[in-house]
């Protein structure tokens, strides 16, 4: 954790609780005004024009400031609040979520509650998501464990949702080989959900990471599973579905992976098994590659560029560092903006925007010659 003031961290904890995630406009506000000032404005119910959505999203909880309690609970459980201002913030991995923020329930997390010794940023640098049915077969859990061990042996973090079935087998497979694994929960990091996995989650927290965007005490709820799935996809450089029936929660995570440009793999199984129907469908439809072992999964990651920032199709802005990327994304397709407008739109300080624009102009990607900044015509 970086040297953030207690006031700052309390403000982040307040903001992380005040609206049900994801809430992209709240994140933009915090990026522009800082956490402390944003928290003050929300409590005072006085926000800059154009933030009606934030007022609505925070109405129910704005007067309840449980920040100190949440931070204490987290501390007692050996957990911490990681914000975009902290070094271990996985900004690179989450970038794709910001770009997908216009889709339903899209947008990144405002902050993440994290329990465990691993560095969140490092752990998500080469991470592979393994997901699948809770009602997995013994074949499925065997295969998930084997894949997870193989991936962990190769240095990849194994990301999953901590659930029964495939999720649990994946976490266990990574732990068994002394590897790194990350459980992304749909409830607070202090809730052992599912209860039968209390001991597994404890172990993951001891050796890997338990992650949630929900404050301590938050209970699991159906919509939170769907929201959580986007984080599993975003934190993974590639996602593998090990077993999935015709209708499966894993299909939702797989859809997020595709939305975010993450390569998708699926493990085949007996065509006589209802638990492999979803995987076979994804392969037959060309949505997922057929994968059989860790090397074939890592080949997927490699083919997509080896890092956790993957978009398809490739454009000249792929691979730009986040500060330049966010600035260029703030520019409209047609017409130009003043620096102050870009700074507002990107939620970044004017000085930082000017620095980024200067580099982007050298790269030929933006054009500031007309007094306003616009996308260069060449692309």
Interface ranges with a second copy (CB under 8 A): 139, 142-143, 267-272, 276-277, 280, 283-284, 289-293, 296
Alpha carbon 270 to its chain's center: 32
Q: Which is nearer to a second copy, 259 or 281 (CB)?
A: 281
Least distance CB 271 / a second copy (angstroms): 4
Backbone angles phi, psi at 160, to 5 degrees: -155, -170
CA–CA gap between residue 259 and residue 236 (Å, rounded) = 13
Q: Which is nearer to a second copy, 39 or 241 (CB)?
A: 241
Q: Which is nearer to a second copy, 158 or 283 (CB)?
A: 283
Q: Which is nearer to a second copy, 169 or 291 (CB)?
A: 291
Omega prior to 313 cis, within 30 of 0 = yes
Least distance CB 78 / a second copy (angstroms): 37
3-state SS record for 109-131: CCCEEEECCCCHHHHCCCEEEEE
Least distance CB 332 / a second copy (angstroms): 40
Q: Which is nearer to a second copy, 150 or 161 (CB)?
A: 150
Which parts of the chain fold into alpha helices (H)? 6-18, 24-33, 35-44, 52-58, 67-76, 91-99, 120-123, 138-153, 166-176, 198-207, 222-234, 249-259, 277-284, 294-303, 322-330, 339-346, 350-362
Least distance CB 268 / a second copy (angstroms): 3
Least distance CB 139 / a second copy (angstroms): 6
Token duo for residue 125:
């640098």
Q: Which is nearer to a second copy, 290 or 317 (CB)?
A: 290
Least distance CB 166 / a second copy (angstroms): 14
Sign of the dihedral defined by the CA atoms of residues 186, 187, 189, 192, in that order: negative
């Amino acid at each position: 954790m970086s040297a953030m003031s207690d006031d700052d961290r309390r403000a982040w904890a307040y903001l992380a609780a005040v609206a049900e995630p994801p809430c992209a406009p709240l994140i933009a506000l915090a990026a522009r005004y800082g956490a402390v000032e944003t928290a003050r404005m929300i409590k005072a119910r006085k926000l800059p024009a154009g933030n009606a959505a934030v007022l609505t999203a925070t109405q129910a909880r704005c007067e309840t400031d449980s920040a100190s309690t949440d931070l204490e609970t987290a501390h007692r459980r050996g957990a911490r609040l990681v914000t975009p201002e902290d070094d271990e913030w996985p900004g690179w991995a989450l970038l794709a979520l910001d770009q997908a923020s216009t889709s339903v329930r899209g947008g990144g997390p405002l902050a993440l509650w994290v329990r465990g010794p691993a560095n969140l940023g490092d752990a998500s640098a080469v991470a592979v998501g393994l997901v699948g049915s809770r009602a997995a077969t013994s074949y499925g859990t065997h295969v998930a464990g084997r894949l997870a061990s193989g991936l962990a042996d190769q240095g990849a973090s194994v990301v999953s949702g901590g659930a029964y079935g495939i999720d649990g087998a994946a976490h266990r497979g990574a732990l068994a080989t002394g590897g790194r694994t990350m459980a992304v929960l749909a409830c607070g990091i202090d809730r052992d959900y599912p209860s039968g996995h209390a001991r597994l989650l404890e172990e993951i927290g001891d050796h890997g990471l338990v992650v949630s965007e929900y404050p301590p005490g938050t209970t699991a709820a159906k919509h939170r599973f769907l929201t959580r799935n986007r984080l599993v996809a975003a934190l993974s450089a590639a996602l593998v579905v090990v077993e999935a029936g015709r209708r499966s929660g894993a299909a939702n995570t797989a859809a997020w992976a595709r939305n975010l440009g993450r390569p998708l793999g699926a493990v085949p199984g007996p065509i006589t098994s209802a638990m492999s129907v979803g995987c076979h469908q994804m392969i037959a439809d060309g949505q997922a590659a057929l994968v059989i072992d860790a090397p074939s999964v890592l080949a997927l990651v490699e083919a997509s560029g080896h890092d956790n920032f993957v978009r398809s199709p490739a454009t000249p802005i792929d691979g730009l560092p986040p500060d330049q990327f966010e600035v260029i994304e703030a520019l409209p397709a047609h017409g130009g903006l003043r620096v102050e407008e870009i700074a507002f739109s990107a939620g970044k300080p004017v000085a930082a925007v000017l620095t980024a624009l200067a580099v982007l102009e050298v790269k030929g990607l933006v054009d500031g010659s007309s007094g306003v900044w616009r996308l260069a015509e060449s692309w």
